Amino acid sequence: MKECLSLLHRLSAHPDSRCWFISWNCSGTLLASCGGDKVIRIWGREGDAWVCKSVLEDAHQRTVRKVAWSPCGNYLASASFDATTCIWKKKNNDFESLTVLEGHENEVKCVTWAPSGNLLATCSRDKSVWIWEVDEDDEYECVTVLNSHTQDVKHVVWHPTQELLASASYDNNICIYREEDDDWECQATLHGHTSTVWSLSFDASGHRLASGSDDRTVKIWKEFPGDLSWKCVCTLSGFHTRTVYDVAWCKLTGALATACGDDGVRVFKEDESSDRDQPIFSLAAQVKKAHDQDVNCVAWNPQEAGLLATCSDDGDIAIWRFQEEE
């Protein structure tokens, strides 16, 4: 049976600017988007349509690069090129700016919440990764600054169940961090990509990590706990003609989606009969002209299997259904 990606909706999310990133809340009912217009928009479903529910503005002075929902869904964090991260609190159907996290020397490229909701990680063009602790009074304190990369850090992502953090950088490397004796340290550095690593995504178990790179490949890394290492067990090459800007592993189905600078969106599936230590992934579906310009982000809905959102330099959000063709 062949799968396909069918377009359900196209939203003019950030007209006249890039739409950099999109993030679903934990219930899959709201989608946050951010862009070069310094604005965050919150989208929700009304009947068969997706509409803008809220516009969050006046918090950032420059491009908003990433947004991330807290696990409880009551907070939204936004990372900006103005070197700050803003924390928004949901109140009824609106949002208010709760606090602004400062400290990075320049552009904050990514922000992500730990599964507990008690930790937040940010990364920056200043080559550092910061971990922030959140207390019950909504106070945020930086508990560590990690300087394991030699270049701009593009992306940070938490393990789905553990307080283990991964980061990707312009230095072509991936770093894995864990807390040891009340101190965070880099446990492993993953070498393999030959150019900038733009994005990372853990699978549902957290035992595997996908990475997308400027070298036009996606690599699958597997954890080998016995020797505290991660090893590349598969490389997807020959599918993308330009930079792979984002990868997203669907926690419900195991499908792997990619966003590419060639304007395309692709979905890969693992051969169920392949060896976990030598997995084989095949291209299950693709839309070569998914957007008019670079595709920056792919995001699977956490509750509705096969529902995929993408966004692009063209300012649009597209919502797709990945399913078997009838």
pLDDT at residue 127 greater than cutoff 90:
yes
pLDDT digits (tens, 9 = 90+) for 167-182: 999 999 999 999 988 8
Return the pLDDT at 225.
82
Q: What is the mean pLDDT of residues 134-140?
A: 91
**108-113 and 119-124 as β-strands: parallel, antiparallel, unpaired?**
antiparallel
> What is the residue-averaged pLDDT of the chain?
95
% pLDDT > 70, the chain: 99
Instruction: Locate all alpha helices (DSSP H) within 64-187, ordered by sequence.
Output: none
Q: What is the mean pLDDT of residues 10-28?
A: 97
- Local confidence band at 120 (pLDDT 50, 70, 90 cut-offs): very high
188 HSE (CA, 13 A, CB side): 18
Q: What φ, ψ does residue 96 adopt, rounded to 5°?
A: -130, 145
pLDDT digits (tens, 9 = 90+) for 176-215: 999 988 899 999 999 999 999 999 999 999 999 999 999 9
Return the pLDDT at 256.
98
Q: Coil, strand, or helix at residue 164?
A: strand
Return the pLDDT at 92.
83
Torsion-angle region of 238 (φ positive above 0: left; ψ -120 to 50: alpha; else: beta): left
Q: Coil, strand, or helix at residue 310?
A: strand
- Of 296, 214, 209, the residue nearest 256 (C-alpha): 209
Return the pLDDT at 136.
87
Distance CA 262, CA 202 (A): 24
Residue 121 · residue 128 · CB < 8 Å: no
Q: How far apart are the first and last CA of the chain?
A: 9
Residue 103 · residue 130 · CB < 8 Å: yes
- Local confidence band at 1 (pLDDT 50, 70, 90 cut-offs): low
pLDDT at residue 227 greater than cutoff 80:
no
Q: What is the mean pLDDT of residues 120-124?
A: 98
Residue 189 · residue 175 · CB < 8 Å: yes
Q: What domains can you pick out in the chain, each with its CATH number?
A: 3-324 (2.130.10.10)
- Local confidence band at 324 (pLDDT 50, 70, 90 cut-offs): confident
Distance CA 182, CA 147 (A): 17
pLDDT at residue 228 greater than cutoff 60:
yes
Q: Which amino acid is at 284?
A: A
Q: What is the mean pLDDT of residues 55-59?
A: 93
pLDDT at residue 11 greater than cutoff 70:
yes
Q: What is the mean pLDDT of residues 207-234?
A: 94
Distance CA 150, CA 155 (A): 14
- Local confidence band at 325 (pLDDT 50, 70, 90 cut-offs): low
284 HSE (CA, 13 A, CB side): 24
Return the pLDDT at 181.
86
Residue 140 · residue 132 · CB < 8 Å: yes
Distance CA 34, CA 173 (A): 26
Q: What is the mean pLDDT of residues 123-152?
A: 96
